[in-house]
Amino acid sequence: MMNTLTSYFRVFLTFARNSLVRDMTFRTNFLIDLISSTAWVLMNVAFYTLIFRYTPAIGANTGWEKYQFFLFLATSLLINSLVHALFMTNADDLSELVRTGSLDFALLKPIDTQFLVSLVRVEWSALGNFFVGLALMGYAMYKLQYVPGVAQIVLYPVYVLCGVAIYYSLMIALAATSVWLGRNLTLFDFWFYITNFSRYPMEIYQGPWGTPLRRLFTFCIPVLVVVNVPARLLVRPINPQSLEDWILPGFAILATIGSLAGSRWVFQRALWSYRSASS
């Protein structure tokens, strides 16, 4: 078991190194990717800064004031950049592998197919936003004069990884459907529209429409858990306000395990239905 884990880890390191070599071959392109994704993020930060010129908080009595929200935004950046760097290009390529029949080569290799197709290409330039996220987090913490406790320092990375895992599960399950659909151009659209709901604190989904929506995206498709749980861990650590606050961190772990298992199942089913495209 341990042996398998080490060898898989070494394979992953090889993937990462190969991708880095490839990225460094086209250095200017890498730099442009880095700058452009950072520019998008900065523009978003500017947008929220602008909003907070007019409002003290997002939602009354929610505690999401400017710098608290920046911590939320930073968490969102960390998770998204990791997902983008590790999985997005690969998930996108999957439909192409299916369409052209190149998935055959992946199936033949003596390695777990899901592992191989999910991680073969690491998008190093996407990690730029990881550092933007860290910087934003540092800035917000400085402004809030906030020092995280031991529990936060230990649990925060765990929940960030849970968030990455949930996003990954959703993405690979969506990508795997291309086996049945032939091709899947709308993957990114779907992905964008679903994760769009997780961009803001879950408290904004209130009222006769909002509450069902919040429950749907918490308990059925757990995208709201992804950023909210780690961000809340930082922002309001000591005073849980409602029953949901108590349940949520526990539920996040369950949701992670459930999503991973579910996406594994979808992926396996997809492989069984796969018929090679060429002769």
- Whose Cβ is closer to another protein: residue 13's or residue 185's? 185
State yes or no: residue 210 binds another protein (CB under 8 A): yes
Q: Residue 142, exposed/middle/buried by CB under 10 A (0-12, 13-18, 19+)?
A: exposed
Q: How many chain residues bind another protein (CB under 8 A)?
A: 34
- Whose Cβ is closer to another protein: residue 168's or residue 200's? 200
Residue from 30, 205, 267, 274 in contact with another protein (CB under 8 A): 205
Question: DSSP readout, 58-126?
Answer: SSTTS--BHHHHHHHHHHHHHHHHHHIIIIIHHHHHHHHHHHHTTHHHHHHSSS-HHHHHHHS---GGG
- Whose Cβ is closer to another protein: residue 157's or residue 210's? 210
Asked whether 166 and 243 are in contact (CB, 8 A), the reply is no
DSSP state of 183: -
Shortest Å distance, C-beta 190 to another protein: 8
Residue from 146, 197, 240, 277 in contact with another protein (CB under 8 A): 197
Question: DSSP readout, 218-247?
Answer: IIISTHHHHHHHHHHHHHS-S---SHHHHH
Task: Scan residues 59-98 and list those touching another protein (CB under 8 A).
Answer: 59-62
Shortest Å distance, C-beta 53 to another protein: 7
CA distance 117 to 180: 17
Task: Scan residues 160-189 and list those touching another protein (CB under 8 A).
Answer: 186, 189
Give the CA dihedral 44, 185, 223, 128, nearest 10 degrees.
-40
- Give me the count of residues in the chain: 279
Site string for another protein, 16-55 (x = CB under 8 A): ----------------x---x--xx--x--xx--xx-xxx
Shortest Å distance, C-beta 159 to another protein: 22
- Whose Cβ is closer to another protein: residue 193's or residue 265's? 193
CA distance 116 to 273: 18
- Whose Cβ is closer to another protein: residue 7's or residue 55's? 55
> CB under 8 A: which stretch of 85-93, 112-120, 122-130, 201-209 binds another protein?
201-209
Q: Residue 251, exposed/middle/buried by CB under 10 A (0-12, 13-18, 19+)?
A: middle
Residue from 67, 167, 168, 200 in contact with another protein (CB under 8 A): 200
Shortest Å distance, C-beta 98 to another protein: 19
Shortest Å distance, C-beta 39 to another protein: 6
Look at residue 57 and give its three-state secondary structure.
strand
- Taking alpha carbons only, the member of 185, 154, 157 closest to residue 78 is 157
- Whose Cβ is closer to another protein: residue 54's or residue 272's? 54
Asked whether 136 and 45 are in contact (CB, 8 A), the reply is yes
Q: Under the rule (CB under 8 A), what is the footprint of another protein?
A: 32, 36, 39-40, 43, 46-47, 50-51, 53-62, 186, 189, 193, 196-197, 199-201, 203-207, 210, 213
